[in-house]
């Protein structure tokens, strides 16, 4: 196949390129050239999707994979521009597109979030001041993705494959949410672990996701697919203990209940990745229990958790530490000094308990 990837240089796009090349497909990237492609020999057309789509004229692709569409008008413009040169349009959406994840087992038939014209205008203004930053959209992110999905299908009816991933993890993850736990446990010592040890977590290795998408494109799949890890399989304790086994560290986990974390104003998801306060967020009860049965039946497979951890740790050590010459600060996870202070206060509180 001959594939066009909008983006293709960071995380999901990067691994889509690797997966496609591994199956002997030809890949062309279209992006602004701000990041190096995963394989230098891949053809790259430099341009901004908001202004330079004319540079894609006079080409023909079996499919285009849109990894970076956040605004409906972006998707509309790209879909229209490529309607005559690409047979199918694959849009990477998000499980945040759902209107309600307060119950477990949300599948592809669940209602989507909606967005008002006023909210859309706000999002367009945000995009102008923070181009390329999906995090800047905040609570509008999910409704925007839902609107993008609908726009793609309106422009190219019956020719669209929509992927709704959950939390994506693994090597090259620039969000650092999963990487924080891998790196922190590898460092060893006393580790602040949030909430209940048996609380389930759900995520997907970016390589499993990329490989599955490429196989679906090969089969000319269309429609909507949730794509995340198996529900009710991995607990937070499982994750941390496997991180310890892979790294061989001396990490000691101190489980701190969420009442204390909330009292100390520890930021869920950012300071404590993967932690969502159960008592304070009933509307997110199903966030870690998305139903991916449809994708599994269509060939989605999961590699062992320890393999994901090992690959992430190796990437972290070779590209994000002093040994690699970069020593970049992680974008997620609690500061070491704050972690020590919280652990001390937690022990003092426990000592006062009758």
User: Taking 80 as the threshold, does the pLDDT of residue 132 lie above it?
Assistant: no
> Taking every pair of C-alpha atoms in the chain, what is the biggest distance, in angstroms?
76
CA-CA distance, 136 to 128, in Å (whole number)? Answer: 11
Question: Helices 141-155 and 72-82 meet at what angle, rounded to 10?
Answer: 20
Res. 44 pLDDT band, cuts 50 70 90: very high
**What was the pLDDT predicted at 129?**
80
**What was the pLDDT predicted at 137?**
85
User: Taking 70 as the threshold, does the pLDDT of residue 323 lie above it?
Assistant: no
Res. 200 pLDDT band, cuts 50 70 90: very high
What percent of the chain shows pLDDT beyond 70? 97
What percent of the chain shows pLDDT beyond 90? 86
Instruction: Average the pLDDT over 174-194 and give the result.
Output: 97
Please give the domain boundaries of the chain with CATH numbers for all domains. 1-165 (3.40.50.720), 173-203+230-289+304-354 (no CATH)
C-alpha pair distances (Å), 32 with each of 6, 9, 12, 37, 92? 10, 10, 16, 11, 19
CA-based torsion, 48, 49, 53, 56: positive or negative: positive
CA-CA distance, 218 to 220, in Å (whole number)? Answer: 5
Instruction: Average the pLDDT over 136-155 and give the result.
Output: 95
In contact, 11 and 172? CB cutoff 8 Å: yes
User: Taking 80 as the threshold, does the pLDDT of residue 135 lie above it?
Assistant: no
User: Taking 70 as the threshold, does the pLDDT of residue 166 lie above it?
Assistant: yes
**What was the pLDDT predicted at 324?**
56
Res. 134 pLDDT band, cuts 50 70 90: confident
Burial class of 63 by CB neighbour count within 10 A (0 to 12, 13 to 18, 19+): buried
SS3 43: strand
**What was the pLDDT predicted at 327?**
63
**What was the pLDDT predicted at 281?**
87
Q: What 8-state DSSP symbol labels residue 136?
A: G
**What was the pLDDT predicted at 329?**
85
CA-CA distance, 8 to 34, in Å (whole number)? Answer: 11
Neighbouring-strand partners of residue 353: none
Chain length of the chain = 354
Contacts for 37-42 with beta carbons within 8 Å, 24 or more apart? 37/8, 37/9, 38/8, 38/9, 38/14, 42/8, 42/17
Report pLDDT digits (tens) over 267-294.
999 999 999 999 888 999 999 999 999 9
Report pLDDT digits (tens) over 99-109.
999 999 999 99
Mean pLDDT value across the chain? 94
Count Cβ atoms below 10 Å from residue 245 Cβ, excluding itself: 13
Res. 325 pLDDT band, cuts 50 70 90: low
pTM for the model stands at: 0.94
**What was the pLDDT predicted at 263?**
96
Report pLDDT digits (tens) over 214-249.
999 999 999 999 999 998 999 999 999 999 999 999
Structure-token pair, residue 202? 């759900």
CA-CA distance, 145 to 137, in Å (whole number)? Answer: 11
Neighbouring-strand partners of residue 254: 192
CA-CA distance, 157 to 6, in Å (whole number)? Answer: 20
**What was the pLDDT predicted at 47?**
95
In contact, 26 and 59? CB cutoff 8 Å: no
Cα angle value 12/16/22 (rounded, 5°): 145
Structure-token pair, residue 95? 């499980």
Report pLDDT digits (tens) over 52-95.
999 999 999 999 999 999 999 999 999 999 999 999 999 999 99
Q: 212-222: b or e for each residue (b if 16 or more CB lie within 10 Å)?
A: bbbbbbeeebb
CA-CA distance, 92 to 166, in Å (whole number)? Answer: 11
Element of type H or E holding 294 = helix 293-297
| Interacting residues of 187 by C-beta distance below 8 A, sequence separation 6+ | 249, 251
Structure-token pair, residue 330? 């992680």
Q: What 8-state DSSP symbol labels residue 320?
A: S
């Amino acid at each position: 196949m001959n594939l066009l990837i909008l983006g293709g240089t960071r995380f999901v796009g990067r691994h889509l390129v690797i997966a496609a090349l591994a199956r002997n497909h030809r890949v062309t990237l279209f992006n602004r050239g701000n990041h190096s492609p995963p394989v230098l020999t891949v053809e790259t057309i430099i341009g901004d999707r908001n202004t330079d789509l004319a540079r894609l004229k006079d080409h023909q692709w079996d499919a285009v994979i849109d990894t970076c569409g956040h605004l409906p008008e972006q998707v509309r413009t790209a879909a229209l521009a490529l309607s005559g040169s690409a047979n199918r349009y694959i849009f990477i959406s998000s499980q945040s597109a759902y209107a309600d994840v307060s119950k477990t087992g949300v599948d592809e038939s669940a209602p989507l979030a909606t967005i008002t014209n006023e909210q859309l205008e706000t999002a367009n203004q945000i995009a102008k001041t923070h181009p390329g930053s999906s995090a800047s959209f905040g609570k509008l992110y999910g409704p925007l993705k839902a609107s993008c999905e609908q726009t793609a299908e309106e422009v190219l009816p019956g020719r669209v494959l929509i992927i709704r991933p959950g939390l994506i993890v693994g090597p090259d993850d620039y969000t650092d949410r999963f990487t924080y736990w891998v790196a922190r446990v590898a460092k060893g010592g006393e580790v602040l672990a949030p909430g209940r040890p048996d609380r389930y977590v759900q995520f997907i290795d970016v390589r499993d996701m990329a490989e599955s998408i490429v196989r679906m494109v090969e089969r000319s799949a269309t429609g909507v697919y949730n794509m995340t890890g198996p529900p009710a399989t991995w607990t937070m304790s499982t994750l941390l203990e496997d991180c310890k086994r892979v790294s061989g560290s001396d990490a000691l986990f101190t489980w701190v209940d969420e009442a204390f974390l909330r009292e100390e104003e520890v930021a869920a998801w950012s300071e404590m990745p993967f932690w969502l306060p159960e008592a304070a967020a009933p509307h997110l009860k199903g966030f870690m229990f998305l139903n991916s049965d449809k994708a599994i039946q269509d060939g989605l497979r999961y590699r062992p958790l320890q393999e994901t951890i090992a690959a992430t740790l190796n990437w972290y050590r070779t590209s994000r530490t002093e040994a690699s010459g970069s020593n970049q600060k992680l974008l997620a996870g609690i500061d070491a000094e704050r972690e020590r202070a919280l652990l001390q206060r937690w022990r003092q509180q426990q000592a006062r308990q009758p």
